[in-house]
Amino acid sequence: MSLWSHRLGSVTVYLVGAGPGDPGLLTVRGAQVLSKADVVIYDRLSVASLLELAPTQAERISVGKAPGRATMSQEAINALLVERGKTGQEVVRLKGGDPFVFARGGEEAQALIEAGVPFEVIPGITSAIAVPAYAGIPVTMRHSSELFTVITGHEDPDKGGELDWEAVARLGGTIVILMGVGRLPKIVDRLRSGGLSADTPVVAVQWGTRPEQRTVRATLGTILHHDLEPPSTIVVGRVAALNLAWYESKPLFGKRVVVTRARRQASALADRLRIAGADPVEVPVIEIVDPPDGGAALRTAAQSLARGKFSWLVVTSENGAQRILAALHDARDLGNVKVAAIGPGTAAALHAGNIKADLIPDRFVAEAFVEAFPPPAHTGERVLIARATVARDVLPEGLRSKGYDVEVVEAYQTVAVSFDEEAAARLRSADAVTFTSSSTVERFVESFGAEALPPVVACIGPVTAATARSFGITVDVEAEVHTIDGLVEALVQHFRQSTPRTRTS
């Protein structure tokens, strides 16, 4: 009888390939099941940011193995999968690379079969192909290598097992060795005994596809002179002489950049940093919450908008846009009300609610907002400004000076996030920190102190930079275009042109 015949539609265990490291290489199907998981059982090579795709309430269990150490035996992992699978929970087993490529996923699947637990295998991108690609090495190349062999180096070459390294050497083509650093001297000796010359190109790539990727280029005769560490993927053959570099050529490759935005907003900046090659480190210092009155004034203001009591709605942030949209029934509540957004990010947030901004200033600061605002059409024309609890008064005072009747409503407030030693450790290892608002600067200093800053401080615009300088902080980067993209571009230009300040300890 099939596992499914009596449990159709039941919750299953998912054996998910997490890919080799770059979180963008997770498959769409893998992301889907992670988003619904009750339990995530993950190993050492899984990327921490992938765990954030799971619901916040999901249980996370590390069973990671490292050379010479295992937090849990394979038999215990199998038993855990069976136990949790039988409880009716949705269990995701997140494994580095592909579950069935030297990852013991077959053993886990066999245990589930024997226990009668329905499961699904979601393949992942194996490091055997992805890591060489990220190092600029195609595993096959016309006229150079028309076949490739993937081998685990985990087994001892001297034990006389089934693997004939000399025969592998005689096959030709490309040899990709996984988990082979610890036994590399014996592997090199066996390959040379099989006929490969000392000048055969070799590349070892540690932490491939991740911002900390390190590539060592050598030959069979010189590779042992290098200090290699796991996890490394080793490529042997003519194609290893190629260097079609693209990943390590990214402008922020290898830079660790702290993102201080609220957690639910951090992904936009983190994604753009990752595209530029950086390693984004999320240390959110603020959280966006309801204003002190719980949003009562905002709801009242939204009713006034619907009744046509205001001619203009002014929104000064993405958070403000999201809050006012939530307070409205739908876009029809605005009727003939014109809408002004301080910048493209705010305008995009409004557009998500089917509201197109009528006014966006050329510069995304309050002073430019006031300058761009048209004069009132009549005496007593009313403007509603939805903004944070604590904000500068430049905008409401400027509009009042133009003749508007201005009402300010608190749409949200920012509060500090508590931290542990792990967050401080992430800061100590970073190359740069980004601030996207004055509140992120204030909360950072409140939580860590200015002395905890990484060597490079980057601010999204002049207002945020001014707040940083008021705390005695040297601002190294100030974006000319006050957007997330502008901030990342400013960081790119900075690292291209200068040497960062020395990190203080």
Do 61 and 145 lie in one domain? The reply is no
Rounded to whole angstroms, the Cα distance separating 116 from 473 reads 61
Asked if the structure places residue 40 within a domain, the reply is yes
**Is residue 4 a part of any domain in this protein?**
no
Residues tagged active-site: 43, 65, 179
**H or E element at residue 232:** strand 232-236
Position 248 in a domain: no
For 333, the domain range is 289-415
502 within some domain = no
425 and 281 within one domain: yes
Verify that 372 and 294 share a domain, yes or no. yes
Into how many domains does the chain fold?
A: 4
Residues 276 and 190 in one domain: no
Domain boundary among 94, 125, 156: 125
In angstroms, the CA 250 to CA 259 distance is 19
From 241, 272, 300, give the residue that closes a domain: 241
For residues 30 and 104, state if they share a domain. yes
Same domain, 278 and 295: no
425 and 341 belong to one structural domain: no
- Model pLDDT, residue 504: 38
Question: Tens digit of pLDDT per residue, the chain (505 long)?
Answer: 344 433 444 768 999 999 999 989 999 999 999 999 999 999 875 667 788 899 999 999 999 765 555 578 999 999 999 999 999 889 999 999 999 999 899 999 999 999 999 999 999 999 999 999 999 999 999 888 889 999 998 776 666 566 899 999 999 899 999 999 999 999 999 999 999 999 999 999 999 999 899 999 999 999 999 999 999 999 999 999 999 999 999 999 999 999 998 777 778 899 999 999 999 988 888 888 999 999 999 999 999 998 989 999 999 888 899 999 999 988 888 989 999 998 888 999 999 999 999 999 888 778 888 898 999 988 889 999 999 888 888 889 999 999 999 999 999 998 888 776 777 788 888 999 999 989 899 989 988 888 889 999 999 999 899 999 999 999 999 999 888 999 999 999 999 986 544 443 3
CATH number at residue 361: 3.40.50.10090
Examine the domain organization and report whether 204 and 314 are in the same domain.
no
- Say whether both 211 and 231 belong to one domain: yes
User: Residue 23 falls within a domain, yes or no?
Assistant: yes
Domain boundary (363, 397, 415) is at 415
C-alpha pair distances (Å), 170 with each of 194, 195, 504: 6, 7, 54
User: For residue 81, what is the domain's CATH number?
Assistant: 3.40.1010.10
Same domain, 370 and 442: no
Q: Give CA separation, 147 vs 138, 142, 143, 244, 287, in Å.
A: 11, 10, 11, 19, 53
Q: What distance in Å separates the CA atoms of residue 463 and residue 111, rounded to the nearest whole number?
A: 59
At 76 the pLDDT is 94
Residues 203 and 237 in one domain: yes
In a domain, 246, yes or no: no
Return the pLDDT at 503: 42
Q: Please indicate, yes or no, if residue 55 is contained in any of the structural domains.
A: yes
Angle 287-364-452 (CA atoms, 0-180°, nearest 5)? 45
**Sheet order of strands, 39-42 included:** 59-62, 39-42, 91-95, 13-17, 119-122
CATH number at residue 198: 3.30.950.10
Tokens of 54: 């799971």
- Asked if residue 247 belongs to a domain, the reply is no
- 214 lies in the same domain as 317: no
Q: At what angle do helices 318-327 and 344-351 cross, to 10 degrees?
A: 20
The pLDDT assigned to 497 comes to 87
